[in-house]
Amino acid sequence: MQHEVNQIITFWTDTATLAVFDPECLAERVNAKCDWWCGSFTEIEEVAEGKASFISTAADGVFRVRITSGELSLHERDYAKERLGPLGLEVKSGRVFVGKGERITGGGFAPDAAHVREGEGSFVEMPTGQYDLLVFSIEWFDSPLWWNMNGTRPHDAPADLVVVLTPRTSAFKRLTAEPRLGDRLQRACVAAR
């Protein structure tokens, strides 16, 4: 990937969902019901075919996610507990929304940078093309480096989730298993509050 991607985004969700998608790739869904994406993600064509990624976080709450075209950091590797993927992403517009599932295109709405509020997610600039994604949950709160008595996130703690992007080099294998992280992630979102 010529353009380096490395961005940290904080978002909160009441639907226990991280969404990674190019709004242009979901443009046909703008007039669908606002909850068209609720249910099994494997039954959503855009997700199953690798055009967008919707990931169940197994808990509502506040999450920090790092999206990168690079490697996991040393601390991320040490505390990575779960790995999902490969999931998929298609980029047509050169920018991707990363954030809460409640901002997925639908109900007459498509996210744009001017209307996404703090804590909902953010846009990431990246080259057009098709990508494979690996998603890691990071249990930083188990480490003596970041554990503290009041259960809050230290400023230097790793992200709760890391999304690693790589350009797709072969056909996407249709998604058949629900992209769901386990209950361990729930402790991280509680600690982040």
Q: How confident is the model at residue 114 (pLDDT cuts 50, 70, 90)?
A: confident
Percent helix, strand and coil across the chain, each rounded to 5? 20, 35, 45
Structure tokens at 111: 């996210």
Please give the pLDDT value at position 193. Answer: 40
Among the residue ranges 35-49, 66-80, 179-193, the one predicted with the least confidence is 179-193
Sheet containing strand 80-91, strands side by side = 6-13, 61-68, 161-167, 129-138, 80-91
Q: Region of 7 please: left (phi>0), alpha (psi -120 to 50) or beta.
A: beta
Contact of 51 with 132, CB cutoff 8 Å: no
The whole model's pTM is what?
0.91
Is pLDDT above 60 for 186?
no
H helices of 11-157, in order, are: 45-48, 74-79
Give CA–CA dist 151/146, Å, rounded: 10
**Mean of pLDDT values over 97-118:** 92
Structure tokens at 54: 């919707």
**Higher-confidence position of 173 and 153:** 173
Give residue for tokens 């992007």.
165
**Mean of pLDDT values over 151-156:** 80
